[in-house]
Chains A and B, each alone.
Chain A
């Protein structure tokens, strides 16, 4: 920051030497100081890249049954081994990763959208609307999630499947219900941010200029509230991937022929004694993904929190 005293006519020139740093560049600079987060970002990028282009490079089909190669351990032909039908696990893990990650990101989007909406309305309106929305938030927080998830899927899976097909139907259903059960923390965060930000002088200044409510929210309050929301979003992705795995593991997720990571674990559980590789590889993928997303969330929190001193 230019620290010198500005001359009365033209202000200081010292700032000219400093390169352009916007808030986002500054956040990125701080994020890079968090070594684990950077490593995690690399790992997660590799994982995403692998599931996106992997199936084109590793061309073994996910559903080719080969009884001559049942429950084989890792080999050059099958780097992650095969399952009880002789299907290649690497191909299935790569394909399943697409679904697991897609569910994770999509459910996060749903959670953030609902959370920001509820939080913003509560934070702007205050009074009774705020009290009502927070009551709703608390209600959702106190619901027993897993039994409810199972019940909803049990009730609606068939109806939705008939309309849009089994894979897409289950995908939409799972994304909506996982997202629909994960927005509460975001809503509370956003509401708290709104309460403090709307009293800030720069918001008052915008009001004094005659800015509409919409402009206040979109230009002044929301951009300044997004830091903690982005952190919460990363954690939500991890939570959604775990939730999807849990559902699939309980046999209530995608149809049996769609290999998500959770489904692979579900299929592998009866063969743990003599084919541990079957469970280890998809399990490791879930573990790696969730761990690296959590570290990235950690790094983002440091990056967005200006009070936290990061060694330069």
Chain B
């Protein structure tokens, strides 16, 4: 592969847990525990996993909305973690984010025009007020809203419309990469399809790359070129979307996929039911994080040694001692 647009290596984020009278650090939450992947220009990488596995934290660490504890994030070869001040501000023109909750992600006291126009203001992308308004009107039309919506406030819009406003705000700086943090999870199913289609149209039009974070596997399958599966802060499997869904290798991916409902009531399938609960990320299991719930775990191997992330088939990576 040529130089990837985004390259993440060994990304780690630990949140300190403070306790006691002196508020000393008594423990740490291992939110992201050594995540690595590449993302090519124009590609969509799906990032799936259950709640609390560190998907959103990974996305925010890449943008440095949360400072990572360690690891490397390179965007077009530049080390994102080393940037400061103006350089950081400049790279934020290239990487944007769309949020899950369309009701929390828009400032209720600003008009839609001001919300979208703010990006242009910060990066001085419009010289005059008129030019800025013209650009905002363009952006609104691009995401399927009307230019006269500019003077309205967010509370006057429905969830799907607000999500479109959020997308227009991200597009305002013409980014190359957009991190979509569960952008459709909070929407009705009928609206989900519209927003997904909009994202696909925009990708085609502007050549965008997406890091698409979600827990809905069928949505991810539809939009992603490749999919990464996360469990307790680590990526356990990465493969092309088709390969992963046709032939999952990691037992966690298998279990996850067997839980996706099939829209045919006559079909029955063997569900793999995982035993036990998700272990606490404050005290993750030794060895392979998944061994406590894994149906094929082997004693003295999986519970002691961290499995290596290996390319077991072409472009199909998995972290498991037993498979591949």
Contact = CB atoms under 8 A, between A and B. Distances in A.
Interface of A: 1-12, 15, 18, 20-23, 26, 200-202, 204-211, 215, 219-220, 223-224
A20 B105 CA distance: 21
B65 interface: yes
Given A220-B107, A224-B109, 20 more contacts: A1-B155, A1-B158, A3-B158, A5-B158, A6-B145, A6-B158, A8-B144, A10-B146, A11-B161, A12-B158, A15-B149, A23-B155, A26-B155, A201-B104, A201-B105, A204-B65, A205-B99, A206-B107, A210-B88, A210-B122
A205 B169 contact: yes
Given A6-B144, A23-B109, A210 B93 contact: yes
A9 B97 CA distance: 23
B153 interface: yes
B97 A23 contact: no
A5 B153 contact: no
Given A23-B153, A209-B118, A211-B122, A4 B158 contact: yes
B16 interface: no
B190 interface: yes
B160 A5 contact: yes
Nearest to A199: B104
A204 B106 CA distance: 10
Contact of A2 (B89, B90, B93, B158): B158
20 contacts: A1-B158, A6-B191, A9-B144, A10-B145, A12-B158, A15-B156, A15-B157, A20-B152, A202-B105, A202-B107, A204-B97, A204-B99, A204-B105, A206-B118, A209-B119, A209-B169, A210-B88, A210-B122, A215-B122, A224-B107
Given A11-B161, A23-B153, A6 B119 contact: no
B295 interface: no
The 5 lowest CB-CB distance pairs between A and B, nearest first, are: A210-B89, A201-B105, A210-B92, A201-B104, A202-B107
Given A11-B144, A209-B118, A209-B173, A219 B190 contact: no
Contacts of B169: 205, 209
B49 to A, nearest CB: 20
B262 interface: no
A161 B169 CA distance: 56
Residue of A6, A200, A202 with most partner-chain B CB within 10 A: A202
Given A207-B65, A211-B122, A224-B109, A1 B104 contact: no
Given A8-B144, A15-B152, A23-B153, A208 B108 contact: no
B109 A223 contact: yes
Contact of A209 (B111, B122, B197): B122
